[in-house]
Chains A and B, each alone.
Chain A
Amino acid sequence: MANYSGSAANTDWIYSGGTVALDGDFRNFSYNTGIEIINTTAGADADATHIVGVKSGQFAAELVQQVGGTAIDTALQVGTQGTLEYSPEGTAVGKRKFTIPATVTSFALSQPYNDIVSVSAGFERNGSHTLGTN
Chain B
Amino acid sequence: MSAWTPLNTCVYGTLSADGTLTGMLATGTPIYYMQAPDNATYPYVVFSWQSGTDDNETPRRSKDMLLWARAHCSVGPAQAGSIDARMDTLLNGVTLTVSGWNNFWTAREQDISFVDTLQDNNKVWTAGGIYRIRICE
A64–B105 contact, CB under 8 A?
no
Interface string of A2-31 (1 = CB under 8 A from B): 000001000000000000000111110000
Interface centre among B58, B59, B104, B105 (most CB of A within 10 A): B58
Say if the beta carbon of A70 comes within 8 Å of chain B: no
Contact of A64 among B60, B102, B107 (CB under 8 A): B60
Which residue on A lies nearest to B105, using beta carbons? Answer: A114
B59–A23 contact, CB under 8 A?
yes
In whole angstroms, how far apart are the Cα atoms of A115 and B107 in the complex?
11
A24–B59 contact, CB under 8 A?
yes
Which residue on A lies nearest to B107, using beta carbons? Answer: A114
In the assembled complex, 21 residue pairs joining A and B whose CB atoms fall closer than 8 Å, in A order, are A7-B59, A23-B59, A24-B58, A24-B59, A24-B60, A25-B58, A25-B59, A25-B60, A26-B58, A26-B59, A27-B57, A27-B58, A63-B58, A64-B57, A64-B58, A64-B60, A67-B102, A114-B105, A114-B107, A115-B105, A116-B104
- Expressed in whole angstroms, the minimum distance between the Cβ of A72 and any Cβ of chain B is 13
In whole angstroms, how far apart are the Cα atoms of A94 and B110 in the complex?
52
In whole angstroms, how far apart are the Cα atoms of A64 and B58 in the complex?
8
In whole angstroms, how far apart are the Cα atoms of A117 and B58 in the complex?
13
Residues on B with C-beta less than 8 A from A67 are: 102
Sort chain A's interface into a size bin. 10 to 19
Given contacts A25-B60, A27-B58, 11 further A-B contacts (CB under 8 A): A23-B59, A24-B59, A25-B58, A25-B59, A26-B58, A26-B59, A64-B57, A67-B102, A114-B105, A115-B105, A116-B104
Interface centre among A7, A64, A67 (most CB of B within 10 A): A64
In whole angstroms, how far apart are the Cα atoms of A25 and B58 in the complex?
5
Which residue on B lies nearest to A66, using beta carbons? Answer: B60
Interface centre among B57, B102, B104, B107 (most CB of A within 10 A): B57
In whole angstroms, how far apart are the Cα atoms of A26 and B57 in the complex?
8
Residues on B with C-beta less than 8 A from A27 are: 57-58
Which residue on B lies nearest to A7, using beta carbons? Answer: B59
Which residue on B lies nearest to A63, using beta carbons? Answer: B58
- Expressed in whole angstroms, the minimum distance between the Cβ of B34 and any Cβ of chain A is 28
**Chain A stretch 26-60: residues in CB contact (< 8 A) with chain B:** 26-27
Residues on A with C-beta less than 8 A from B59 are: 7, 23-26
Which residue on A lies nearest to B109, using beta carbons? Answer: A114
Residues on A with C-beta less than 8 A from B105 are: 114-115
**Chain B stretch 27-78: residues in CB contact (< 8 A) with chain A:** 57-60
